[in-house]
Chains A and B, each alone.
Chain A
């Protein structure tokens, strides 16, 4: 059955549209530096603040995990808030809606863009965290931590893309983004912090708690499906 968000048979291929949108995102970010530098700077500044506020040079285990994930989450919210702003302010959103391209292409491109933001953020934040606060050496913990980061990023990406699309068409998007995304991200925070806690305590990758990783993966899957199902309708008037 056709819906208002269907696309005609001669519409461009989704992969072509996603590639074009990703090129646009990359160019806009490289020329404006609006999202990633702010996210990275925020994370490093927060680690410095924790360093002084806790008056400790070294964290490990649950505390280290909590500090890392809370910081990453708040930095990610900055990126989520910026994700659709250029499109909304400069009319690209309407331009996309006027085209016959499938609406899901925007979802894929935004999700991949947010994932790229998070990867760059973590390339800065995780070494910064290790340098400023982490007690065990980072290298032995890295394989396990990367697994948790990957699943955590996936959760942030699906929720962030959904909330970004929801908030961007409102006049209070700067407020609505964090207000909606943070509660939805609490399970991601909980699972990711619990999963990475033993890794950061013992610095052994084998200590990953599978239960929390599976819970996180399930949450990612559920929200991925929800986002995929409702994204088209969020774009409509």
Chain B
């Protein structure tokens, strides 16, 4: 494995506190019975293991991410990156180990964090027969969000003019922009991003940058196949190969070129 591999959970220095972090801490957490179990880390994984039948998708993954930090998850196809995101999003259950998200243990307290996570994955999670506006209005109702936020987000990604057209008539880049709106509609504290700039042209990437980029101030987990780009916007880097941790280091310690070894 690469010489740069660092098996440590070292935490990088804090970035300046963002406006995002001035929001009321743990929006729903204070009132919850499990609030007493709250931890400082936004994400805490210890020995996380997940199988699909006999196949190990994730094996003994441990990592800690503090509030406002960005974790980049790298690795070849089938490394377990998407499984990790789905576990953090409460869509999958861990088979072993401990998972804490926003101070709540999963899967037991999944109900407490669902509305505080934004997932932007391979699938846009949008209905093709509905328009962008109708899709977002549906998700606004599911999250108890006011309708005017739909319009605000559509404007922020320059989709207000095409917002009434069925999604099946839009380009993949436009659908991705709507998916960004969907993931951010409820103003989540934790963003789980799987190749978030896929299908976006440079102009569209710029549009979504304030929403999902480092300047959003949110805690982020980014899955990427671009080691250089991912390390540039991360605080921590997790490299997976066949579900096992091969690299875990602060971004400052890593030479992005050495991460190419993950893919060999």
**Separation of A3 and B143 alpha carbons in the complex (Å):** 19
Assess whether A69 is interfacial by the CB under 8 Å rule. Answer: no
Interface size class of B (residues with CB under 8 A): 35 or more
* B33 part of interface (Cβ distance < 8 Å): yes
Query: Hey, what's the 0/1 contact readout for A17-42 against B, CB within 8 Å counting as 1?
Result: 10111011001100110000000000
Q: Is the CB of A86 within 8 A of B127?
A: yes
Quote the shortest CB–CB distance from A17 to chain B (angstroms).
6
A98 touches B117 (CB 8 A): yes
Of A7-15, A51-59, A113-121, the segment with at least 4 beta carbons within 8 Å of chain B is: A7-15
A91 within 8 A of B: yes
Set of chain A residues within 8 Å of B126, measured between Cβ atoms: 90-92, 95
Interface flags, B159-185, vs A, CB<8A=1, else 0: 000000010000000000000001000
Instruction: Give the residues in chain A near B182, CB-CB below 8 Å.
Output: 95
Report chain A residues within 8 Å CB of B28.
8-10
* Chain B: minimal CB distance from A89 (Å): 9
Across-interface contacts of B93 in A (CB, < 8 A): 236-237
Q: Which of B111, B123, B138 is A20 in contact with, Cβ under 8 Å?
A: B138
A12 to chain B, nearest CB (A): 3
Q: In the complex the two chains form, what is the Cα distance from A7 to B142 in whole Å? A: 12
Determine the distance from Cα of A50 to Cα of B125 in the docked complex, in whole angstroms. Answer: 43
Q: Which residues of A contact B134 (CB under 8 A)?
A: 24, 27
Q: A4-B108, A8-B32 are in contact. Are A100 and B144 (CB under 8 A)?
A: yes
| Docked complex Cα distance between A116 and B122 (Å) | 33
A2 to chain B, nearest CB (A): 7
Are A101 and B166 within 8 A (Cβ)? no
Of the stretches B72-80, B84-92, B206-214, B220-228, the one at the interface is: B84-92
In the complex with contacts A8-B32, A11-B144, A31-B114 CB distance below 8 A? no
Contact partners of A3 in chain B: CB under 8 A? 111
Contacts of A96 in B (CB 8 A): 142
For A237, the chain B residues whose CB sits under 8 A away are: 91-93, 107
Q: Are B166 and A12 in contact (CB under 8 A)?
A: no
B48 sits at the interface (CB 8 A): no
Question: Which of chain A's residues has its CB closest to B118's CB?
Answer: A98
- B129 in the interface (beta carbon within 8 A): yes
B112 within 8 A of A: yes
In the complex, per-residue mask of B85-120: 1 if CB is within 8 Å of any chain A CB, else 0: 000011111000000000000011111101101010
A12 near B143 (CB under 8 angstroms)? yes
In the complex, chain A residues whose CB is within 8 Å of the CB of B123: 90-91, 94
B52 to chain A, nearest CB (A): 11
Across chains A and B, which 3 residue pairs bring their CB atoms closest together, nearest first? A20-B141, A100-B115, A12-B144
- A residues engaging B (CB < 8 A)? 2-12, 16-17, 19-21, 23-24, 27-28, 31-32, 86, 90-92, 94-101, 236-237
B contact set with A: CB distance below 8 Å: 27-28, 31-34, 89-93, 107-112, 114-115, 117, 119, 123-130, 134, 137-139, 141-144, 166, 182, 186
User: 8 A–B contact pairs at CB < 8 A?
Assistant: A12-B142, A20-B137, A20-B141, A23-B138, A28-B129, A94-B91, A95-B126, A100-B144
